[in-house]
Chains A and B, each alone.
Chain A
């Protein structure tokens, strides 16, 4: 499969700070890639270099078969993290202008603008000034501006930040729709959950270094926590019996649930049956690795003690706080 993006040894420094260090990355055409990492990890700098908005200090890149994204700008759609609109411009005119800047001068442009606005429930705003829209509406218009010219490559930098769950779902549907159309999509987020829900491949960046580059299936296999999530049918039930179930190495409270670590070589299916027989469950399942966990397990290797705990807390807080829970 030809690659839409290919980066080799890409490095960018700002003064004494190395924002991105020796980054290698290949994004196949038609893939849906997520770039994750905490704030300041180097995601936006990477994206800006891919788009030739920033020039790398070192390294090579190839975007849609070109040495620079400048040569393929019209085939790329970009939603930057620092996004905005012309406040005084009318919504319809803004979208048409952005499409024209991307070389889309089709005669039916006005109709397509109306069609897209209709699709996101903003048809009545076509003649309104951008400044009259709510933040959520503006964000939808901004995404439309990135995809209206049917690009081959769509790069979205933190596309869900600041959106309520309903609009997050709408944005996800739009992104999936573009992916189904055949567009290659690369998006960055510091909310791991968004990447989990949308991507089939994850690239994780931490302090300018790529620390993970794998498919979701690969990540799940590699970072399998080998534990069960257990919730007793009677909330205050005595779960001490679980400690003696063969195949259970450790029983640990995890909020309202219990985490049962599997012994080496134990078969999860067999252990589940034994656990259910020992204490009636309201819920029992094999725990899957979340990207939060993966991220923490990778990054915590560098941090110790209190630092690692603080990191875990911060990652969970950002995942649940900003996202408003799983949607």
Chain B
């Protein structure tokens, strides 16, 4: 047992204590984590304060005042505040409570809000009566932006004469042309277009003799969240999460299994290529060597799984979807990882022992990789209908069964617990068969050099040993 642990420890350290592992395995999740952390902060970043004149040539004569009123700094601030409040209200209770409990984060949120309100654009509406010399009116837009000059022209709006009242015989209303300074912040452009939209609608409704408030009341329908009614109660459903969760769990399982299996293959081929294997075989039996190596890479996979799982949980907390996660899924994930990894790892060890270099391993790996990718390719139909005969049958066939069962368990309609247990038993039988086969190949393959064997030869070895 001590030798097993020694081999496992060396295998683990030889894999983990490398720059490639650090960059590949730790670097990527760190980067993802950093993005998860930074993205909301970067998105909250407000545009630089914009100050300037907007010239409007209003042929209808009905829009200038409305536009001026809509674009008043205090009105913009009010709208932003309302939008922010709506977002906060939409936040799940747990996160709101967390934010309230945490004085630092609450203060930071308030501060950010105030900062946002303080940086609203100051836009001065300048009406121009004649569009006779439009080119001259547009000319100042070409000036280089100057922060110290609050009177710089940043946009010119030319409203068509029929924008409020349709010309006789025409079905459509006229519109307006908008000219803006080069590289004007798109959020300011959004403010201008929103202002024009609101003002135009208001003017058209008025000119038609209608009551705008009434129309808005009639056309407004509150957005509702779907509520799932289940035996355990009612829950707000999240369709996107329902689709993503099974894929995420199976992806994690697949990634950690293939990654540690791949490392096992590489280190086995390396030991054979370096000719260190016979020295090892003088100290331990082939079975001890294989099991020790499988154990070492199992821990590597657990580390990878732990890192990505942790990041996933962080993301769930960050997106306030922690309630979507059934804690049992984490237990299932680790159990199915152990079974799937031992199965795949044993096969990888067998292949690694049989070939002389990585290039030769590709051909033998192909059938295994393709088989394991089947659940990945079928994730959509399986996760949509996880209890179909096809999905159920597939989840009991090793080695794909481990992945399919994980996929099914992570769906909103998981199979009963006894199916999960049955899947585990089937998986364990598959793992045992893979270990038995691999042990036979490993013993013969490690000392075989020369032409790489085909699958048929591997089976012959297994029968001989």
A interface with B by C-beta (< 8 Å) = 48, 51, 53-54, 70, 73-74, 76-80, 82-89, 97-98, 100-103, 142, 145-146
Please name all residues of chain A whose beta carbon is closer than 8 Å to the beta carbon of B285 when the two chains form the complex: 70
Query: Given A86-B14, A97-B6, do A53 and B282 touch, yes or no (CB 8 Å)?
Result: yes
Contact A83 B284 (CB under 8 A): no
In the complex, the answer to whether B14 meets A80 with C-beta atoms within 8 Å is: no
Seen from chain B, the residues whose Cβ lies within 8 Å of a Cβ on chain A are 3, 6-7, 10, 14, 18, 270-271, 274-285, 447, 449
A232 to B415, CA, bound (A): 100
Shortest CB distance A291–B (Å) = 26
Kindly state the separation between the CA atoms of A48 and B277 in the bound complex, as whole angstroms.
13
Complex contacts, B274 vs chain A, CB 8 Å: 84-87
CB neighbours (8 Å) of A85 from chain B are 274, 276
Which of A78, A82, A101 sits near B3, CB closer than 8 Å?
A101
Contacts A54-B447, A73-B283 given; does A100 touch B278 at CB 8 Å: no
Contacts of A79 in B (CB 8 A): 279
Which of A74, A87, A101, A142 gathers the greatest number of chain B CB atoms within 10 Å?
Answer: A101
Q: A54-B447, A86-B14 are in contact. Are A101 and B284 (CB under 8 A)?
A: yes
25 contacting pairs across A/B (C-beta < 8 A): A48-B447, A51-B281, A51-B282, A53-B278, A53-B282, A54-B447, A78-B279, A78-B282, A79-B279, A80-B278, A82-B275, A82-B449, A83-B276, A84-B279, A86-B14, A86-B274, A86-B276, A87-B270, A89-B14, A97-B10, A101-B3, A101-B7, A101-B280, A142-B279, A146-B279
Verify A101–B278 contact, CB threshold 8 A.
Answer: no
Neighbouring B residues of A51 by C-beta, 8 Å: 281-282
CA gap between A80 and B277 in the complex, in Å: 10
The answer to whether B14 touches A83 (Cβ under 8 A) is no
Cβ–Cβ contact A102 & B278, under 8 A? no
A172 CB to closest chain B CB, in angstroms? 21
Given contacts A48-B447, A97-B10, A101-B3, contact A73 B282 (CB under 8 A): yes
Q: Contacts A78-B279, A86-B274, A101-B284 given; indicate if A53 touches B6 (C-beta within 8 A).
A: no
Q: Is there contact, CB below 8 Å, between B284 and A73? A: yes
- Asked, given contacts A84-B274, A85-B274, whether A145 binds B279 with beta carbons under 8 Å apart, the answer is yes
Specify which chain A residues have a CB less than 8 angstroms from the CB of B279 in the assembled complex: 78-80, 83-84, 98, 142, 145-146
Contact A100 B447 (CB under 8 A): no
A77 to B282, CA, bound (A): 8
Q: Do the beta carbons of B278 and A82 come within 8 Å of each other? A: yes
Interface centre among A48, A73, A85 (most CB of B within 10 A): A73
- Complex Cα distance A327/B257, Å? 55
